[in-house]
Structure 1
Amino acid sequence: MKRFLLFYCLCISFFVCSQTISGVVVSEEDHPISKVLIVNMSSNQKVYTDNFGNFSIAGKMGDELRFAKEKYKGERIKTNNDLLKVILQQLPQEIEEVKIVNKSISHSKEEELRTAIGLPKGPEKPREKPADAVDDIVKPLIRIPPMVNVQAIYDVVSGKSKRLRRFYKYEDLQEGLAWIQNNIDIEYFEEAGISPEKFNDFLMFSLKDEKVLMYMKAKNIGGLTVSLDNHIGAYLKRIGKK
């Protein structure tokens, strides 16, 4: 009888420990969403939904699951059954004005990346445009009739244009970092091993990835979370935690 009870307890323990939580992730229109990042905060296990929005992840009742996907608002759910239906709310996207642009600009690396990940261009700030040696000096000179832009020549030669670009880059970075701090789920990264005092350092490390930078500029929290998640392992290895 004792052996039977011991065997029974072991079976129950094995069942509890090996429980799987499954479900599907859909949009508000009930369309399945693929490639959604799902993290079990109790075990830090990560999976992605398949092409039909389905997922399975090891866990137990009461575990907290978090969901992140580009263009969607993040979601967190405490599991109360082993079959879930999770609805992600799509973030509003700005419709970009159609413009005729120079071919070399439209095929620049930044433009290609922005198009590839489906991000709209952020609104332009009312800033003084730094003079450009080619666009504002050389091109006007080869027109018919030629034009001399004295102010542009002064701005380029004096270094004013370069200082303005540097300042705008710094200003955008600080604004972006502040936005991330106010909107990202810091607890998620803390539980992954990145302490709050190391979070800014982690951000600077991750921002070397142009995709992370693009999501920050577009203020896309879902895409940013997924992209930052891809850099956790490399960062922990760099600071000697793995």
Structure 2
Amino acid sequence: MKRLLFFYFLLISIAICSQTISGTVISEESNPISKVLIVNMTSNQKVYSDNVGNFSIEGKIGDELRFAKERYKGEKIIIINNLLKVVLQQLPQEIEEVKIINKRLAESQEEKLRKDIGLPKGPEKPREKPVGAKEVLLPLLGASLNVDNLYKWLSGNSRRLKNRYKYEDLQEGLAWIQNNVDLEYFAEAGILPDKFNDFLMFSLKDEKVLMYMKAKNVGGITVALDNNIATYLERITKK
């Protein structure tokens, strides 16, 4: 009898400790969301939702699941049963008209504040457009030659401007990632804080990382960086 009870409790323990968690990922409008990255933060197992938003992942009660998807706000769920329904909130998509309106509103508020306190308007420093081969070669075909453009192109000024702007944009993008991604998520996956910058530089060879960094898409950058974790960890382990 004692042996039977032992095996009974053993089976119960196994069932509690390890089971398949199934679920569905949907939008706020109850539409299924496919290709959502789901990560068990305890076991680091990763799966993606299928075409109708369904997924299955190994886990146990109390494990934390995290969900990431381009254009959606990330979500964290603590497993309380083996059947989940997860709702992801879609992030608002900024359109160019909204950016222009917001910029003009900010400029008008800044101008009003400047006048109220009696400060002179500061000098504007817009980015100088680098001269390309097109601006230099086309005038040679008939239009008047712009000597200043020709000098900037031949002297390397345009190349230096492009490199400087590229560097500034890269630094801005890396700072945005640091301030917006969930660093704990990557620490749990093996990318410790002191290695995160090195991991970012390693991941920049991935076009999707560059694309989502430029678009400032949190869900997209999380998924894109996640796809580089295994390769990065393998590289540093071999060193």
Instruction: Give the TM-score band, short-chain normalised.
Output: 0.7 to 0.9
Q: Which amino acid aligns with 1:47?
A: V
1:219 corresponds to: 216
**RMSD (CA atoms):** 1.7
The answer to whether structure 1 residue 87 and structure 2 residue 84 are counterparts is no
- Which sits farther off after the overlay, 75-84 or 57-66? 75-84
Task: Specify the SS of the correspondent of 2:237.
Answer: coil
Structure 2: gaps spanning 5 or more residues: 98-124
Which amino acid in the other structure matches residue 31 of structure 1?
N
1:46-61 matched pairs, under 5 angstroms: 46-61=46-61
Residue 100 of structure 2 is matched in structure 1 by none
Letter paired with 1:197: D
What are the within-5 Å matches in structure 2 for residues 1-242 of structure 1? 1-95=1-95, 126-133=126-133, 135-143=134-142, 146-240=143-237
Larger Cα-atom Rg = 2
Alpha-carbon offset, residue 95 of structure 1: 3.5
Contact 2:16 2:61 in 1 (8 A): no
C-alpha separation between the residues in 1 aligned to 2:192 and 2:126? 37
Count of aligned pairs:
212
Q: Deviations over 1:135-179 (max 9, x none)?
A: 111112214xx2211111111112110111111011001100100
After superposition, give the CA deviation of every residue in 1:22-71 in whole Å (9 maximum; x if it has no partner). 11111111100001000010110111101110111111121111000111
- Give the TM-score of the pair, scaled to structure 1: 0.83
Q: Which amino acid aligns with 1:157?
A: L
* TM, length-normalised to structure 2: 0.84
- Rounded to whole Å, the distance in 1 between the matches of 2:35 and 2:72 is 12
Question: Percent identical across equivalent pairs?
Answer: 72
Question: 1 CA distance for matches of 2:19 and 2:226?
Answer: 25
* Aligned mates of 1:37, 1:47 — CA distance in 2: 6
Contact 2:33 2:52 in 1 (8 A): yes
- One-letter code aligned to 2:183: I
Higher helix share: 2
CA distance in structure 2 between the partners assigned to 1:195 and 1:3 by the alignment: 46
SS, match of residue 71 in structure 2: coil
Post-superposition offset of 1:129: 0.6
Residues 109-154 of structure 1 show CA distances to partners (whole Å, capped at 9, x for unaligned) of xxxxxxxxxxxxxxxx942110002x111112214xx221111111
Counterpart position of 1:115: none
Deviations 1:81-116, CA, capped at 9 Å, x for gaps = 22211111112223468xxxxxxxxxxxxxxxxxxx
Secondary structure of the residue that 1:147 maps to in structure 2? coil
Preserved CA contact (<8 Å) 2:136 2:153: no
Higher mean alpha-carbon deviation, 6-15 vs 223-232, is at 6-15
Question: Partner residue of 1:108?
Answer: none
Structure-2 separation of matches of 1:156 and 1:57: 57
* In structure 1, C-alpha distance between the alignment counterparts of 2:238 and 2:7, rounded to whole Å: 39
Corresponding letter in the other structure for 1:142? L
Query: Which shows bigger deviation, 84-93 or 196-205?
Result: 84-93
> In the alignment, residue 224 of structure 2 is paired with which amino acid?
S
